[in-house]
Amino acid sequence: MKKLFIATFALLLTNAADAQLRIDISGVGANQIPIAIAGFADESIAPAQVSAIIKEDLARSGLFKIIDANATLSETAAINYGDWKSRGADALVVGSVQKLADGRYDVRYRLLDTVKSASLSALSLAAPEARTRVTAHKIADDIFEKLTGARGAFATRIAYVTKSGKEYRLEVADADGEDINVALRSNEPIISPAWSPDGTKVAYVSFENRKPVIYIQNLVTRQRTVLANYKGSNSAPSWSPDGTRLAVALSRDGLTQSYIVNADGSGLRRLTNTSGIDTEPQFSADGQTIYFTSDRSGGPQIYKMSASGGEPQRVTFKGAYNISPRVSPDGKTLAYISRRDGSFQLFALDLSNGQELRLSDTTKDESPSFSPNGKYIMYATESGRRGSLAVVSVDGRIKQRVTTQAGDIREPTWGPFIK
């Protein structure tokens, strides 16, 4: 098992504008959708250029071919569909920005089908200045869903740990790496952040009293509570889909075993009971099954069992070392880290037929996390002795590398859809 790092920290929530992430994209989807995004009328009055954010979101997905619009068009403009079709665009995005009397910005947009000369969608979203970027992400999400049939995840958030000098920070950012806020600071490593299903809290492991303890922090109020502080190691928190319970790994009775505990710290129940190590428990999408890592067969492999107890079943059989299970939101795919020929790489397993797919070409991968729409997996890796994040589509075609000049970044977790 990987070494457990432990952390102490001071709570702080500040902007980290000097640590912006850079995202590099390679690969494209099997069938890219050609789309033109016109400049939005009067968008210069807004603190963020809405049309540019939409364009960057769609391009980053790898599923769209961006056609140069070279025009500014409002949602009420007359459209020559034939002209846009001749430019190679199957879809066109137009819109405008207006500042309201209460200081909010009203962003309006239309998505047009140039092939059928028809409107596919239209939205009007009013938001305060600080959430202009979120408004743009929401429009990109609407476009993604209307043209691909899958819900977009551009308006979601990610969390990860950055090491800069001797300082460790748990940072929260938009899915595109912008609008970074520091949630935790520490002179020791921070590990295992995990989002609550409603996106308002993060569970994590810290070392407040010279021992690993699991805390839950409310990202809105900054309030934190102790979830598990038992004898020995308290680690690897994972939320149930309804947010009422967490699966954790504890060594309170000797070797590390998997447990389930209520979100308020009550009702602790032991789930596994072996003479080996059972760790990294993860709830399935429906909350009925727990996937976990165990060395009961010799080397670490991934098993599953009912969340109410019962006999575990082995899930991974290829490779002698498989750890860090993560289940897709639809429950059909298992992502994990496997050691093959000395390299730690990201793999995906189709749970219906047992087909395995290697998704990464790096050699020091860890901490996979699915996007809430299940289309992408974020994970930590290493390049040039520096930690970085990477994102790959579940079919392996589209790859992104996320880096920062501020230091190493690791331990990613992709937040949920926000209602």
CA-closest candidate to residue 42, choices 94, 119, 110:
94
Q: How many other C-beta atoms are found inside a 10 Å radius of the C-beta of residue 92?
A: 25
For residues 369 and 392, what is the distance between their CA atoms, to the nearest angstrom?
11
For residues 264 and 245, what is the distance between their CA atoms, to the nearest angstrom?
8
Q: Which residues pair with 413 in a beta bridge?
A: 159
Contact residues for 130 (Cβ-Cβ < 8 A; gap 6+) = none
pTM score: 0.91
Kindly state the helix (H) or strand (E) to which residue 83 belongs, with its residue range.
helix 81-86
Give the pair of three-digit tokens for residue 387. 């930690």
C-alpha distance from residue 103 to each of 51, 53, 75, 139, 150 (Å): 20, 21, 21, 20, 33
Q: Count how many residues are written for the chain.
A: 419
The label of the residue with tokens 């996390």 reads 369
Written as tens digits, the pLDDT of the chain (419 aa) is: 443 322 222 233 333 334 455 656 566 656 899 999 999 999 999 999 999 999 999 999 999 999 999 999 999 999 999 999 999 999 999 999 999 999 999 999 999 999 999 999 999 999 999 999 999 999 999 999 999 999 999 999 999 989 888 888 889 999 988 899 998 888 877 899 999 999 999 999 987 777 889 999 999 998 989 999 999 999 999 999 999 999 999 999 889 999 999 999 999 999 999 989 999 999 999 999 999 999 998 999 999 999 999 999 999 999 999 999 999 999 999 999 999 999 999 999 999 999 999 999 989 999 999 999 999 999 999 877 788 899 999 999 999 887 666 578 899 999 999 87
| Burial grade of 210 (CB within 10 A; 0-12, 13-18, 19 or more) | exposed
Q: From its phi and psi, is residue 408 left (phi > 0), alpha (psi between -120 and 50) or beta?
A: beta
For residues 419 and 413, what is the distance between their CA atoms, to the nearest angstrom?
18
- Let me know the angle formed at the C-alpha of 204 by 130 and 335, rounded to the nearest 5 degrees: 90
The label of the residue with tokens 């430019």 reads 87
Q: How far is CA 264 from the centre of its chain?
A: 25
Using the CB atoms, write b or e for 116-145: b if 16+ within 10 Å.
eeeebbebebebeeebbbbbbbbbbbbbbe
Residue 273 is predicted with a pLDDT of: 92
Do residues 333 and 350 make contact, with C-beta atoms less than 8 angstroms apart? yes
Domains of the chain, each with CATH number or no CATH: 10-20+154-414 (2.120.10.30), 32-148 (3.40.50.10070)
Give the pair of three-digit tokens for residue 102. 């209460």
For residues 66 and 32, what is the distance between their CA atoms, to the nearest angstrom?
9
